[in-house]
Amino acid sequence: MPPRVKFSREEIVQAALDVAREKGADAMTTRDIAARLGVSTQPIFTYFRSMAEVRAAVHTAAETFYQKYAAEGLAEEIPFLGYGMRHIRFAREEPELYRLLFLSHDVSPVIEAMRHSQSLIRSTLESLYHLTAAEADYYFRDMWLVVHSLSTLIVTGGCTYTDDEIRGILSGFSLGVCRAIRQVPGFVEGTFDRNAEFTRLLKNCEQEVSDGTDH
């Protein structure tokens, strides 16, 4: 009778995820995982044929872990802002998992993660801001790029903004995009006259300054 396996597959994946959170998935070894469990490497290969399979399982577990952050954000009073701030919080609290999910050399998982998040928030944007599906997707794409850029700066040590400052950045950007979608015909389609719109904006600003001076 073969010896009883002490740990389940789920326990091994959890141990591997814990190692990845500390030192990064690329640096993770079977010895690290075994040491976390207090066993030899043999139980690991009871369930996995190679380290590549272990890393694939860790990637899936990291995605599930991230989705908890996303769900918490979408449940907040202002879902788009909640989602963005939770994404950034994930980068602050789990930098190695953020690297694994969103800073991979293979961009396809990153794009897939963005599309999955987009599908989660699309209906919320449609109902909250009365946007069409195309407008909601445009809005989300632009917001994602800003959130992802800030998160990347956090993970790489280049961001000095506080959460309150980041919340202000996201709010201001969001208002700007929403107003452009509402007030500029052809904005989402990219058919609007950029020079004409910026000229009109500058004239409006000058008029507002002039009106304020007159008062």
Give the model confidence (pLDDT) of 113-142 as tens digits: 778 778 877 887 888 778 898 998 998 888
Counting residues of the chain whose pLDDT is more than 90, the rounded percentage is 42
pLDDT of residue 213: 62
pLDDT higher than 60, residue 2: no
C-beta neighbour count of 184 within 10 angstroms: 16
**Which 3-state string (H, E, C) describes 141-206?**
HHHHHHHHHHHHHHHCCCCCCCHHHHHHHHHHHHHHHHHHHHHCCCCCCCCCCHHHHHHHHHHHHH
pLDDT of residue 1: 44
pLDDT higher than 50, residue 89: yes
* Separation CA 74–CA 118 (nearest Å): 11
CA-closest candidate to residue 181, choices 104, 125, 102, 115: 125
pTM for the predicted model, two decimal places:
0.83
* Separation CA 97–CA 93 (nearest Å): 9
Residues 44, 30 contacting (CB under 8 angstroms): yes
Give the model confidence (pLDDT) of 8-34 as tens digits: 899 999 999 999 999 999 899 999 999
Q: Which two tokens stand for residue 193?
A: 């006259």
Task: Give the domains, in start order, of the chain with CATH numbers.
Answer: 61-183 (1.10.357.10)
Residue 81, helix vs strand vs coil: helix
Residue 96, helix vs strand vs coil: helix
pLDDT of residue 214: 58
* Separation CA 12–CA 184 (nearest Å): 54
Give the pLDDT band (50/70/90) at residue 80: confident
